[in-house]
């Protein structure tokens, strides 16, 4: 490669990084953008991002990445498009399918342009920016405005929000109530913090420099989780911790021991879930939540009622429900706040693309999780733990949310699933050459830092 080719490659990599940062922020903190520049400004930004994403994806290795797309994902996307034939809202189904494909393309661009370590850095920096911006925003609301801040571009009619939930933030940083951050939602800022907790912890483990930044980042996520007070995220983090313990514990064990451990882990997890559900009044009361999980059981009953009307084909793909579209218009209104999701991604898929859609989603999740688990367990570098842990945490969190079907949640799902199919020879080499178990490295972290040498990793 001559000097001009190297310069062109470096220029393309810089452009890819800029598009990745802007795109991830836009998709992970979508409401912050919409509240600031409005839906038209947000739409214009998405069109620009789609153009750059398409160009950069073509410039990467599109054929290789497309071959790595799991078959069930391809079939699920095809089903979303086909559902326009029987959809109750054909035009919106076509628009939603286009948005789904565009978001998928952004995930494929990330998978083709960056290796796992680069993705760790990009996600880490983006999440840090969202969290720090959120604290600055909450500080302004609490210290200077001393009250709630409404969106610049309103998401309601009239001059005054009809309910507190319509405010961008309610300025609760100093009074102990739930914060919302720049994303405008307590559950979403908690989800950002959950992602950050995993990302920052892995950054601390695999990077030898600037460790104080990662420690401060971890502390910030813990504080955010405490202030956001999201029960769903609390259970998702518990699932991540269990997955991490099991993954580290089975590494290096024989096949029989690994599979026995897996069976016990799943059995304990299922039993724990049953016990929590049976004693939900006490459990949720202990963490300051209502037994119906802030109205979710009511939402699920209403959604199941619609599902039973069209259990096979569904009502047509829509992702998040569009206001005013039947049968969702006025379906769920709690405390004067309309809800536009089933608050369960799996129910939302069943509702919109029927039982076949659910089966394809479960097939896609199972195949992807197995590959990510193998990557995290079999590779002795702790770097490869974060994809599996985030994937698992996202799956757990979406029993009470539908975020993984749109924007940043969908990007994460697709990126991790496609990237898990990277050839093994493209992963980083190990130093020392003799493999050292991850749990040994972590126990000895203060004495021996993991400093893996990087090889071509695509």
368-416 confidence digits (pLDDT tens): 999 999 898 888 788 999 999 999 999 999 998 999 999 999 999 999 9
- Model pLDDT, residue 292: 64
For the ranges 24-28, 68-72, 125-129, 279-283, the lowest mean pLDDT is seen at 279-283
- Model pLDDT, residue 454: 43
Whether 370 contacts 336, CB under 8 Å: no
With a pLDDT cut of 70, the percent of the chain lying above it is 90
Q: Which residues pair with 169 in a beta bridge?
A: 149
Per-residue pLDDT band for 48 (boundaries 50, 70, 90) equals: very high
Q: Which residues pair with 149 in a beta bridge?
A: 169
- Model pLDDT, residue 443: 65
Distance CA 191, CA 182 (A): 13
- Model pLDDT, residue 329: 86
Whether 395 contacts 344, CB under 8 Å: no
In the predicted structure, residue 51 carries a pLDDT above the cut 90: yes
Which token pair is 157?
């009619």
- Model pLDDT, residue 436: 62
Which token pair is 218?
């971890």
- Model pLDDT, residue 290: 65
Q: Would you give the DSSP letter of residue 295?
A: T
Cβ burial of 121 (10 Å; 0-12, 13-18, 19+) is middle
pLDDT tens profile 149-189: 988 888 777 778 788 888 899 988 888 889 999 999 999 99
pLDDT tens profile 296-353: 888 999 999 999 999 999 999 999 998 889 999 888 888 778 888 999 999 999 999 9
Distances (CA, A) of 7 to 13, 372, 458: 10, 34, 19
Q: Which residues pair with 337 in a beta bridge?
A: 334
- Model pLDDT, residue 18: 95
Distance CA 409, CA 405 (A): 6
pTM of the full structure: 0.90
Q: At what angle do helices 186-206 and 211-228 cross, to 10 degrees?
A: 160
- Model pLDDT, residue 330: 84
In the predicted structure, residue 447 carries a pLDDT above the cut 60: no
**Spatial CA neighbour of 240 closest among 207, 198, 177, 302:** 198
- Model pLDDT, residue 453: 40
**Spatial CA neighbour of 196 closest among 118, 123, 110:** 123
**Spatial CA neighbour of 331 closest among 309, 350, 303, 295:** 303
Q: Which residues of 83-94 are buried (b: 16+ CB within 10 A; e: fewer)?
A: bbeebbbeebbb
Q: Which residues pair with 338 in a beta bridge?
A: 333
Distances (CA, A) of 329 to 26, 300, 324, 325: 27, 16, 5, 5
Mean local confidence (pLDDT), 183-204:
94
**Spatial CA neighbour of 373 closest among 417, 431, 329:** 417
Mean local confidence (pLDDT), 18-38:
94
Distance CA 352, CA 336 (A): 25
Containing 338, the helix (H) or strand (E) segment is: strand 337-338
- Model pLDDT, residue 285: 67
Per-residue pLDDT band for 65 (boundaries 50, 70, 90) equals: very high
Per-residue pLDDT band for 102 (boundaries 50, 70, 90) equals: very high
Mean local confidence (pLDDT), 116-122:
95
- Model pLDDT, residue 352: 96
pLDDT tens profile 123-136: 999 999 999 999 99
Per-residue pLDDT band for 232 (boundaries 50, 70, 90) equals: confident
Which residues are CB-contacts of 447 (< 8 A; sequence separation ≥ 6)? none
In the predicted structure, residue 263 carries a pLDDT above the cut 50: yes
- Model pLDDT, residue 155: 77
Query: The tokens 């214009």 sit on which residue?
Result: 44
- Model pLDDT, residue 440: 66
> What does 407-434 look like in DSSP terms, one character per residue?
HHHHHHHHHHHHHTTS-GGGSPPPSSSS
In the predicted structure, residue 355 carries a pLDDT above the cut 70: yes
Distance CA 382, CA 247 (A): 11
Which token pair is 301?
């009953």
Domain extents in the chain: 3-443
In the predicted structure, residue 432 carries a pLDDT above the cut 80: no
Neighbours of 239 (CB within 10 A): 21
Q: In angstroms, how far is CA 99 from the centroid of its own chain?
A: 17
Q: How many residues does the chain have?
A: 458
- Model pLDDT, residue 451: 46
What mean pLDDT is reported for the chain?
87
């Amino acid at each position: 490669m001559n000097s001009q080719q190297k310069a062109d490659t470096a220029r393309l990599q810089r452009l890819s990084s800029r598009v990745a940062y802007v795109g991830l922020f836009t998709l992970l903190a979508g409401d912050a953008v919409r509240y600031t520049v409005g839906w038209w400004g947000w739409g214009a930004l998405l069109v620009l991002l789609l153009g750059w994403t398409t160009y950069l994806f073509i410039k990467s290795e599109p054929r290789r990445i497309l071959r790595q797309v799991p078959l069930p994902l391809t079939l699920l996307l095809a089903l979303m498009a086909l559902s326009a034939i029987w959809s109750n809202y054909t035009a919106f189904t076509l628009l939603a399918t286009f948005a789904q494909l565009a978001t998928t393309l952004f995930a494929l661009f990330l998978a083709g342009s960056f290796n796992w370590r680069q993705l760790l850095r990009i996600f880490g920096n983006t999440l840090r920016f969202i969290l720090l911006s959120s604290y600055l925003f909450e500080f302004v609301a609490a210290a200077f405005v001393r009250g709630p801040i409404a969106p610049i571009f309103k998401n309601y009619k009239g001059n005054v929000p009809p309910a507190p939930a319509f405010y961008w933030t309610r300025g609760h940083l100093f009074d102990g109530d739930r914060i919302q951050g720049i994303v405008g939602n307590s559950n979403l800022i908690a989800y950002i913090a959950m992602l950050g907790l995993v990302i920052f912890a892995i950054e601390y483990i695999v990077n030898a420099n600037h460790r104080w930044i990662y420690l401060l980042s971890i502390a910030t996520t813990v504080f955010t989780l405490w202030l956001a007070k999201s029960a769903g995220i609390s259970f998702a983090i518990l699932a991540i911790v269990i997955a991490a313990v099991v993954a580290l514990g089975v590494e290096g064990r024989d096949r029989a021991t690994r599979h026995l451990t897996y069976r016990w882990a799943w059995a304990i997890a299922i039993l724990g879930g049953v016990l929590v559900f049976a004693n939900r009044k006490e459990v949720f009361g202990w963490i300051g939540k209502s037994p119906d999980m802030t109205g979710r059981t009511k939402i699920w009953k209403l959604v199941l009622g619609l599902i039973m009307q069209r259990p096979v084909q569904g009502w047509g793909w829509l992702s998040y429900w569009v206001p005013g579209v039947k049968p969702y218009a006025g379906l769920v209104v709690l405390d004067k706040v309309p809800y536009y999701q089933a608050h369960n991604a799996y129910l939302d898929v069943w509702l919109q693309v029927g039982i076949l859609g659910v089966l394809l989603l479960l097939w896609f999740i199972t195949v992807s999780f197995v590959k990510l688990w193998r990557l995290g367990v079999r590779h002795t570098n702790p770097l490869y733990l974060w994809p599996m842990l985030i994937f698992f945490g996202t799956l757990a969190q979406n029993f009470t949310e539908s975020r993984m079907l749109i924007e940043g949640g969908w990007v994460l799902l697709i990126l991790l699933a496609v990237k898990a199919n990277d050839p093994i020879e493209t992963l980083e080499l190990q130093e020392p050459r003799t493999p050292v178990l991850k749990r040994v490295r972590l126990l000895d972290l203060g004495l021996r830092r993991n400093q893996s040498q990087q090889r071509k990793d695509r």
